[in-house]
Amino acid sequence: MKFRLETVLDKNTGMYYGEMYYPENATEPYVRSKAVFTSAEAAVQHTLDTFKKMFPDQPVAIREGL
């Protein structure tokens, strides 16, 4: 399964949230997290960790800048 994750800074809170796009070329997010992350990197890492727990037998990797 391939999806795209984008992180967004919520200007009201100063926190980041993630938007997951599926399929990866979708124009609108499939799901959006709450703005609870202190950095874009934290949002990405949390998403990766979640997917690794959900799909322990599947490889989970990130490709940046695509």
Q: What is the pLDDT of residues 1-37, one digit of tens each?
A: 788 889 999 999 999 999 989 888 999 999 999 999 9
Whole-model pTM: value is 0.79
SS3 label, residue 53: helix
- Give residue 62's identity as a one-letter amino acid code: I
pLDDT band (50, 70, 90) for residue 54: confident
- Give residue 23's identity as a one-letter amino acid code: P
pLDDT band (50, 70, 90) for residue 65: low
- When pLDDT is averaged across residues 50-56 and rounded to a whole number, the result is 85
Domain segments of the chain: what residues? 4-54
Q: Can you give the pLDDT at residue 6?
A: 92
Q: How far apart are CA 61 and CA 29, in angstroms?
A: 20
- When pLDDT is averaged across residues 40-65 and rounded to a whole number, the result is 84
Query: What residue spans of 1-66 are helical by DSSP H?
Result: 40-54
